[in-house]
Amino acid sequence: MQALRIASGPDLKGTLVTAEFLSPRTRQLLKEAGASYADASGNMRVVADRPGIFVEAEGAQKDPGREPRPLASLKGPAAARVVRALCDVRPPYGVRRLADIAQTAPASASRVVSLLEREALIERGPRDEIREVDWAGLLQRWIQDYGFLSSNEVAMFLDPRGLASFPAKVRDLKVRAVVTGSLAAVRRAPVASPRLAAVYVDDPEAAAKALALRPAESGGNVTLVRPLDSVVFSRSWVDEGIGYAALSQVAADLLTSPGRGPSEGEELIAWMRKNTDAWRA
């Protein structure tokens, strides 16, 4: 606003404006007003008639002194990738190695790590490496911003033959698919017979056709899910020829599902605590 007032005032020829940083818009307004300027980042334009002087140079286009806003949310694909990597792979590792595991940009990984460090969900070592991760607490924190139904594209279908034969159909699919939810949890922490199947696929409509499913607005027993990000397929596991999502993903999906999903998710996490070596790389 100060630059606008300057530009709308009288001719500023012969005036030199200095600052730590002048934005491109501010520099343009000063130029139009006839003023000279210089900032600490190297942007400079000095014009004079007597003696004749014209010097112009470009420095930073963004304020180098501006602090980046700290991350406040774990929404979105980048956060999901980093959270999943922290849960699935035991430390120690640095941020760059974490970014490699998560297949995301180091800057994104660093922002997520900073958020989690502020919330005491990770512990750093003497060389700033990630040394400990409270993976169960991290899952609880993630589901504040992630929801199985709200974060993914979900479609409900009916398998007229019921769920008993459904896993075999998934095994025979020729496309990428991993089972999540109750049907996956029961393979590790059986509580009750699953009443709903949930499967991540890239193309739900094509998968529904291949699986001989019928669309169902209500009363369906199969949910086909186009995921928020391909991370749902990362570090999956196979049992009897059927692909299942990583248990960290399954737990988050159950904890944010309706009905008895949250209680099944808690049972799965209890199993994961007792059998860390069985699922955490």
**Residue-wise pLDDT tens digits, 8-18:** 445 677 788 99
- CATH topology match: 77-142 vs 148-279: no
Spatial CA neighbour of 47 closest among 17, 21, 24, 10: 17
Q: Where are the domains of the chain?
A: 2-57, 77-142, 148-279
Q: What is the pLDDT of residue 68?
A: 63
pLDDT of residue 1 exceeding 50: no
In this prediction, residue 115 has a pLDDT band, given cuts at 50, 70 and 90, of very high
pLDDT, tens digit, for every residue of 27-49? 888 888 888 999 988 999 998 88
Check if CATH label 1.20.120 holds for domain 148-279. no
Find which of 63-77, 161-175, 232-246 is predicted with most confidence, using mean pLDDT: 232-246
- Count the Cβ atoms, other than its own, within 10 Å of residue 137: 14
pTM: 0.77
Q: What is the pLDDT of residue 67?
A: 56
User: Given the structure tokens 């019921």, which residue do they identify?
Assistant: 162
- The pLDDT of 72-78, averaged and rounded, is 93
Give 275's contacts (C-beta < 8 A, 6+ positions apart): 188
Burial class (CB in 10 A: 0-12, 13-18, 19+), 247: buried
Contact (CB, 8 A) for 82 and 110 = no
Check if CATH label 1.10.540.10 holds for domain 77-142. no
Burial class (CB in 10 A: 0-12, 13-18, 19+), 40: middle
pLDDT, tens digit, for every residue of 217-268? 888 999 999 999 999 999 999 999 999 999 999 999 999 999 999 999 999 9
- DSSP-derived 3-state class of residue 277: helix
In this prediction, residue 82 has a pLDDT band, given cuts at 50, 70 and 90, of very high
